[in-house]
Amino acid sequence: MDPNATLEKIRAIVKDRYDDFDAMTVRSLMTLIASLDSWLTRGGFAPPAWTTAPSSGLEGAIGLVGPDLLQVGDILLFPARELWTVEDDGLHVTVSDGYTEDELEPNGQMLIFRPQTPRSRRDEGCPTCAAAANEGCHMHCDALASLDEDAHAYLEKLGLTSIG
């Protein structure tokens, strides 16, 4: 389920047919809303149009997710590190940032930032910390450190100071 596409469809229906909802349109709208609700209830991200965090020039969303919803390109927070691999064997999820590998419990939750466009450094390297192509950002990369700082500020605005 793509929450961005679903939101776009909902908005298009409401905009185009606001005064003329027939039974088919109402059914379609209800299906889209139920799909988006199910996605959010399972811990999926809200569309970035709803939750854009001030994250070092990156647009995206901060969310608390289970390991089964992690994607390559997500950035684990505190300390920030981009996921290069996510492997799910059905019992555990193993993630790697190119330096370290972690095995995550299937029922755990982690705070991540999901960029609208993943910043994978595999092809071009990082201009901030000088990581080469096909090499992950260094642990003290200024770009990742400022992402953590921005995430702290964003969570404080939401009153979630105990997270992170």
Q: How much is the average pLDDT of 131-152?
A: 76
Tell me which residue of 56, 50, 91 sits closest to 75, measured CA to CA: 56
SS3 content of the chain, % helix, strand, coil (to 5): 30, 20, 50
Global pTM?
0.60
Per-residue confidence (pLDDT) for residue 107, from 0 to 100: 80
Torsional class of 104: left (φ above 0), alpha (ψ -120 to 50), beta (otherwise): beta
Alpha helices in the chain (DSSP H): 3-16, 23-41, 142-157
Per-residue confidence (pLDDT) for residue 87, from 0 to 100: 92
Q: Is the pLDDT of residue 53 over 60?
A: no
Q: Which two tokens stand for residue 117?
A: 């466009």
Cβ atoms of 95 and 81 within 8 Å: the answer is: no
Block residue for tokens 């910043």: 119
Distance (Å, whole) CA 95 – CA 84:
7
Cβ burial 99-133 (10 Å sphere, 16+ → b, else e): eeeeebeeeeebbbbbbeebbebeeeebebbebee
- Tens digits of per-residue pLDDT, 91-141? 888 998 878 899 988 788 888 888 776 655 556 777 777 777 767 677 667
pLDDT cut 70: percent of the chain above it: 77
What residue ranges do the domains of the chain occupy?
3-41, 60-157
